[in-house]
Chains A and B, each alone.
Chain A
Amino acid sequence: MAAPEAPPTYRLIGTRIPYIEGPLKVTGRAEYTDDIKRPGQLIARLLRSPWPHARIRSIDVSAARAMPGVAAVLTGEKYPTPFGVLPITHDETAIAVGKVRYIGDIVAAVAAVDEATADRALQAIRVDVEVLPEYTDPKTGVEKVAEPIHARGLNGTNIQKEVVQHFGDVDAAFAQAHASVRVRGSYAGVTHAFTEPMATIAEATPDGRLTVWSATQVPHYLHRALSEVLGIPMHRIRVIKPEVGGGFGGKSDPLPHEIACAALSLETGRPVKILFDREDVFVTNHGRHPTQNDVRIAVDAGGKILAYDIEALIDGGAWSSFGTVTTYYNGVLSMGPYRVPNFRYRGRRVYTTKPPSGAMRAHGGTNIRYSIELGLDELAEQLHLDPFDLRERNALPPHSTTVNQFRITSTSFVKCLKAARERSGWDDKFRKLPYGRGVGLGCGFYISGSNSPIHFTPKMPQCTVHLKADMDGGIAVHCMQADIGQGSNTLLAVIVAEVVGVDLDRVHVVRVDSDVSPVDIGSYSSRVTFMMGNAARRAGESLRDQLLAAAARVTGYPPEKLVVGHEKIEVRHRPDISISYIDALHAAMERSGALLASGAYTSPPMGGDFKGARAGTAPAYSFAAYVAEVDVDVETGIYKVEKVWAAFDCGRALNRLAVEGQIEGSIHMGLGQLMGETMNYRGSRLMNPSLLEYKIPTPQQMPQVECLLVGDDDPEGPFGGKEAGEGPLIATLPAAGNALYDAVGVRFHELPITPEKVVRGIELRQQSGKSWKGVS
């Protein structure tokens, strides 16, 4: 075999590049939605349901409407068109129509001269309801119920979506298995807890247009939903995305308050602002689904995986949101990083009268992965295999196809395993550390961009990037991708600067504005680096080619003999003959003025042709192998993850600083779910809707993190890059969960793992007579 060609090197790509908007953020000059004030703006407040489930008999808004300072009071019937992020499950309305379905559902919206007046108006609204049964447990919702939460529930149940898939022959595989394991995992709901509360400003103007500024991850889906519900053509709506203070999936659905805010502006003819308080944010939720799963894994004597048999029961809350995708993902995102020849899955997502769950960082891939990785750890123990060895012999090979027909291209998973094993000192630590201290391995994989856009009409690329280079030498970049803190604006600028060969400060990423930004379908499914990156590269190449053609006219050398240098174009292998970037640009502009260039990305066709085959298909996948080292106080059950060795395959890390930031932030969020974060419900009522009671990990609880970026270039990714936004979360939880087992000999299958559960687990182990590391 020929020696592999050394990967190319780049001037900017692959280095550590601080965010281009960093100086604005550290000075407070970055503009978030609530920092914007429109002249004469009204303030909107929402009346939320105190009932988990009720039929609305009547709403009397007359007293509220008559109050001085109140400009408008809206109830649901004016804009009853249902919407939702997925076209197949439009089950939300801007304001409740006919029924309320959770404590926090929007019953009415008020616009007034100030917040205090709006709040007084809310108190003057009288709502008469017939209280309906509440449904808090998805288990009861799978049977026929007296009053289904939605008419669309399957056969009179509260089941929103059921997925049944079977590939290969699972029963035969289990029959011939050498060993098997069963993990029944239980996962509390968790939420995004971004720091910026949702905020929207809407301004209907006399020219018949509507401008909406909103804290959204997906300006394009908001644009569509506004148009559909308000009945205004998209070209008369302008969506602007200011800076967004974190999203993690929580700002990816078009949300009812955004539409209600716009409706109030249409009603009043004035700008209307709505700003959420923290309780609004918590009850809007759309966080990770509370889930029960039941996972069986069969292996042969050598530890080769023969089959997975998985069931998942997913608590959806009041709306569908991304739930159909969630239901598929809880099964199909188990299809890597290992080869699984036989696979059976039954997943059900059930409506309950709780705040809706939706997409949260590493959507659909987190809970199922924890159960599988704990099961594999147990199997390795049964077979007297090292957990690393078991995983390595099951690794999906590069350029292969999974049993459910996912196309796998690049994978550096084995390199991840090797790096994590070596750097963590695994072989000297596993089962060798003293009682109370342990190491664990957890792995993962994730989609690098959903192959399926949510909307298929009209047929168009998933991302388009436009460039404009004018006589000042600056390059303006337009694209509707949504930077929510992950650094995509910086990457966009870096790619353009790299390809065109100019300094980074020549490139201006223009704020997302649907009037000028070509469509990108937003920040979800870890798609931006891959899809926007490819579109940006193509746009850059188109601009570069115009410059090369002009340089050819000036220098007399044919374009194919010219290459881009730093701020210049030079003759290949003759860097002494060159023309500056500015001179080439001006030469190119002579005939037609400012240069324009466009690039787009459409993912290639892939996936099988069975029902649901598209779910989980992606143009590439990220891979991870993490080792966590944990220290447990066995008396109190308090534990700390001391260090995580995070070996991650995002292909080439295009901006190492940003990739590290994504990994470290993911580990923080993953450990939060593992160690204590819980959407704590009493019945349907969320008991902890504040950041005081919903505790995210503190700086003191953060482990040291060593990022091991070992990925090889992906063949289709921009400059070889893949996603690093969500995949880095997944491996965190099982690495720490397996480390707890190594520390105290207890497998914790119920998240979060609180100190009380650790103490109880140790007691139960002791009662069962099992000693661990010589301690009984």
Chain B
Amino acid sequence: MDSPMSGRASIRLTINGTAMELGCPPERILLDLLREDLNLTGTKRGCDLGTCGCCTVLLDGRPVLSCLTLARLAIGHDVTTIEGVTPATGLSPLQKAFVEHGATQCGFCTPGFIMTGTALLRDHPDASREEIERAISGNLCRCTGYLKIVEAIQAVGKETP
């Protein structure tokens, strides 16, 4: 059985602000490392093919599809997951806006959208509707029709001074 502690070459990376050294076979995919080895199950597996965006995490602050990312590509880098953008108590402004605007229905795609939206708002708090639509176009949602997602992201951007 593959295990992070199986003694194979270990990797060093930072996950949600914590420096880690983990056993990791060369073919290990970042999504598997997060979900299966580290139990960070907030990152969702929607397709394993890079088509749905449910597994979006941040690599050095930029959204990547963890199902298409070899864990070894994260060596020496910062990985941020949904667990890493969630405050110890309460919700981030974007998370709060998703709840209040009804931008989450079944919720399965939501962590991915929160990651994409968090990165967008950090760099472009004043993102226009078109920019938001472009930014989230790699994340699929089948419940909301995207309208309330765009609305929630825009609402947080507007609040940001």
Contacts and interface: CB of A to CB of B under 8 A. Distances in A.
Contacts of B111: 26-28
Contacts, number: 177
B49 A691 contact: yes
Given A23-B95, A278-B51, A196 B143 contact: no
A696 B140 contact: yes
Interface in B110-159: 110-111, 114, 132-134, 136-137, 140-150
A393 interface: no
Contact of B142 (A23, A37, A669): A669
Contact of A19 (B81, B102, B142): B102
Nearest to B2: A114
A26 B104 contact: yes
A248 interface: yes
Nearest to B54: A195
Nearest to B129: A699
Given A26-B99, A690-B51, A665 B144 contact: yes
Contacts of B133: 698-700
B95 A668 contact: no
B142 A113 contact: no
Interface stretch (A430-438, A483-491, A564-572, A765-773): A483-491
B45 A34 contact: yes
Nearest to A278: B47
A64 interface: no
Contacts of A657: 102
B140 A29 contact: no
Question: Chain B: interface residue count, which band?
Answer: 35 or more
B78 interface: no
A691 B47 contact: yes
B91 A26 contact: yes
A27 B143 contact: no
A25 B46 contact: no
Contacts of B52: 195, 691
Contacts of A192: 142
Contacts of A23: 91, 95, 99
A736 interface: no
Contacts of B146: 668, 698-699, 702
Interface-centre pick from A21, A195, A657, A692 (highest chain B CB count, 10 A): A195
Interface stretch (B4-12, B36-44, B58-66, B69-77): B36-44
B46 A28 contact: no
B104 A25 contact: yes
B99 A18 contact: yes
B106 A28 contact: no
Question: What are the 9 A-B residue pairs with the smallest beta carbon separation, nearest first?
Answer: A28-B42, A485-B106, A245-B108, A25-B107, A668-B145, A22-B99, A28-B82, A664-B145, A485-B105
Interface of A: 16, 18-19, 21-32, 34-35, 37, 69, 113-114, 116, 192-197, 243-248, 275, 277-278, 484-487, 657-658, 660-661, 664-669, 690-692, 696, 698-700, 702, 704-705
Interface of B: 1-2, 39, 41-49, 51-52, 54, 81-83, 86, 91, 95-96, 98-100, 102, 104-111, 114, 132-134, 136-137, 140-150
Given A245-B106, A665-B105, A668-B144, 6 more contacts: A23-B95, A29-B42, A116-B2, A197-B46, A664-B147, A702-B146
